[in-house]
């Protein structure tokens, strides 16, 4: 122990970081990207997760540095992460939130703002076109904002919306927006959807939560990152996703910067003030506004133009996210490599499974590897899921399957027969609900793990 005087904070911080990195190397080695130093894999004993956190000492050190600064609420790390994320995706602005589900809620809520043109503003009873197959929080914000979801069928070969129903779904004067997710990292048909939205002056929200790092090329154009095609898009940084901050997410504004103030307002209690946390009087008119029926000069920091929420993340999460964002290219490469390996190794099982295909024009950064059990197979998806679970191989169904079969939506229709509309018979969504599941391709999977997945599936099919 040193007998000298007190050490300055910078020296202490460097020593803490050194110890943190040493600790992380010993305690979190199993969470590093798969490589030569990965822990030994014991088939049937070591779990094979469908997804998980992949990180190293840099993330832990960044989190500790941020905690030592003790800013806590969204601050300098958040500002930097928002800029870096927007640049990485190719959008005008990214706004951090506390989850991907919150991002979907805020993106849809933003369309209800009176700051938008009256003829395009989403009002109660207006309709939003979406897909029947997927995760519920893609569709739930439509209902939560008093609008009506119009459910299209899904294409089982891509997992995405079947665009053949777009015209039938459109109701002049009532349809205001389209909100769709890229299924398992596989971009939906952005060429058809963006053309449809442009022709009818509809808003487009891309749920990009499962597709960060995927690309798509419109006809005659170079590939662009998903999340940059719609008016708004959303990200999730929950641990199974392409990068993680624990909890966390973002709303991306592709072009129209009117949405910056609107999304931030809904995120920050609905306030009209755009001052960052800890700052006052950015506009120089804090006590000079007259809004609503408030008296002139009422404090702008306590003036509310929307009925909003408090959905901000913490600065420590942004510090982690900045490091993770630097890993995104390598993560995407690993996901594509693992997906291609499984696809090739499982080709002999095509008599029992249909395999997901990339949408034409798409370069997916895959979230998972989907197995679609054929109708004539000698086993069901439920039996396969149980069999994989017994072998300690993580797997998931395709999220909510056909959402209109979920208890919440069944009850919704009982309470109000006009709560949502369905276009067509939803046969594709039903097949995905009945027969689809997926296994992992995330960067923490080693080749012995993938070999074990392949061997197990071959044994099960036999």
Task: Give tens-digit pLDDT for 61-73.
Answer: 999 999 999 999 9
Give the containing element (helix H, strand E) for 432.
helix 427-435
- Let me know if residue 284 belongs to a domain: no
Give the least confident one: 111-125, 202-216, 264-278, 417-431: 264-278
Considering the domain boundaries, does residue 93 fall inside one? yes
Over residues 184-191, mean pLDDT: 98
> For the chain, how far is it from start to end, CA to CA, in angstroms?
65
Q: Which residues pair with 96 in a beta bridge?
A: 250
Where is 66: in which H helix or E strand? Answer: helix 57-69
Catalytic-labelled residue, pool 241, 242, 300, 306: 241
The pLDDT, as a whole number, for residue 279 is: 80
CA distances from 277 to 229, 297, 321 (A): 30, 21, 19
Q: Which helix (H) or strand (E) holds 7?
A: none
Q: Which residue carries 């590939």 as its tokens? A: 223
CB atoms within 10 A of CB 310: 10
Q: Is residue 419 part of a domain?
A: yes
257, with CB counted inside 10 A (0-12, 13-18, 19+), is exposed
| 241 has catalytic annotation | yes
| 354 found inside a domain | yes
Q: 454 in a domain, yes or no?
A: yes
Proportion of the chain above pLDDT 70, given as a percent: 99
- Measured between alpha carbons, how far is 430 from 443 in angstroms, rounded to an integer? 31
Q: Is residue 281 part of a domain?
A: no
Crossing angle of helices 136-144 and 100-110, in 10° steps, is 40
> What is the span of the domain harbouring residue 449?
8-270+305-462
Does 401 reside within a domain?
yes
How many domains does one find in the chain? 1
Q: What local confidence, expressed as pLDDT, does residue 2 receive? A: 53
Q: How far apart are CA 462 and CA 460, in angstroms?
A: 5
CATH of residue 445: 3.40.640.10
The pLDDT confidence band at residue 384, using thresholds 50, 70 and 90, is very high
Q: Is 434 helix (H, G, I), strand (E, B) or coil?
A: helix
How do residues 291-338 score in pLDDT, each as one tens digit? 999 999 999 999 999 999 999 999 999 999 999 999 999 999 999 999
d(C-alpha 131, C-alpha 122), whole Å: 19
Phi then psi dihedrals of residue 308, to 5 deg: -105, -160
Is 2 part of any domain? Answer: no
């Amino acid at each position: 122990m040193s007998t000298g005087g007190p050490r300055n904070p910078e020296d202490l911080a460097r020593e803490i970081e050194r110890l943190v990195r040493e600790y992380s190397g010993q305690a979190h080695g199993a969470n590093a990207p798969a490589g030569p130093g990965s822990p030994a894999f014991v088939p049937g004993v070591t779990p094979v997760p469908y997804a998980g956190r992949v990180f190293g000492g840099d993330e832990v050190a960044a989190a500790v540095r941020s905690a030592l600064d003790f800013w806590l609420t969204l601050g300098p790390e958040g500002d930097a992460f928002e800029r870096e994320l927007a640049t990485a995706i190719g959008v005008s602005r990214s706004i951090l939130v506390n989850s991907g589900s919150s991002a979907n809620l805020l993106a849809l809520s933003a369309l209800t703002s009176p700051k938008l043109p009256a003829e395009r503003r989403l009002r109660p009873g207006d309709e939003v076109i979406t897909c029947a197959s997927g995760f519920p929080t893609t569709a739930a914000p439509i209902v939560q904002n008093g609008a009506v979801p119009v459910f299209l069928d899904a294409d089982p070969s891509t997992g995405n919306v079947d665009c053949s129903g777009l015209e039938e779904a459109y109701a002049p004067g009532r349809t205001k927006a389209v909100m769709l997710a890229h299924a398992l990292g596989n971009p939906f048909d952005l060429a058809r959807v963006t053309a449809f939205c442009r022709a009818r002056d509809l808003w487009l929200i891309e749920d990009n939560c499962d597709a960060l790092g995927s690309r798509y090329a419109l006809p005659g154009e170079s590939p662009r990152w998903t999340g940059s095609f719609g008016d708004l898009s959303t990200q999730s940084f929950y641990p199974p996703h392409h990068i993680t901050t624990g909890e966390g997410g973002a709303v991306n504004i592709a072009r129209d910067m009117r949405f910056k103030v609107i999304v931030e307002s809904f995120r920050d209690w609905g306030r009209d003030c755009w001052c960052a946390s800890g700052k006052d009087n950015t506009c120089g008119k804090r006590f000079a506004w007259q809004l609503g029926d408030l008296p002139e000069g009422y404090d702008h920091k306590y003036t509310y133009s929307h009925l909003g929420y408090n959905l901000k993340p913490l600065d420590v999460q942004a510090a982690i996210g900045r490091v993770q964002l630097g890993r995104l290219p390598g993560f995407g490469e690993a996901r594509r490599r693992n997906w291609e390996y499984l696809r090739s190794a499982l080709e002999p099982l095509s008599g029992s499974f249909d395999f997901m295909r990339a949408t034409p024009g798409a370069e997916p950064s895959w979230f998972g590897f989907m197995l679609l059990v054929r109708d004539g197979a000698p086993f069901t998806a439920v039996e396969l899921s149980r069999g994989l679970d017994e072998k300690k191989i993580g797997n998931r169904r395709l999220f909510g399957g056909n959402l209109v079969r979920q208890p919440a939506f069944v009850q919704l229709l009982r309470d109000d027969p006009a709560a949502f509309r369905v276009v067509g018979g939803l046969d594709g969504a039903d097949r995905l609900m009945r027969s689809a599941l997926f296994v992992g391709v995330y960067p923490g999977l080693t080749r012995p793990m993938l070999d074990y997945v392949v061997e197990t599936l071959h044994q099960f099919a036999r």
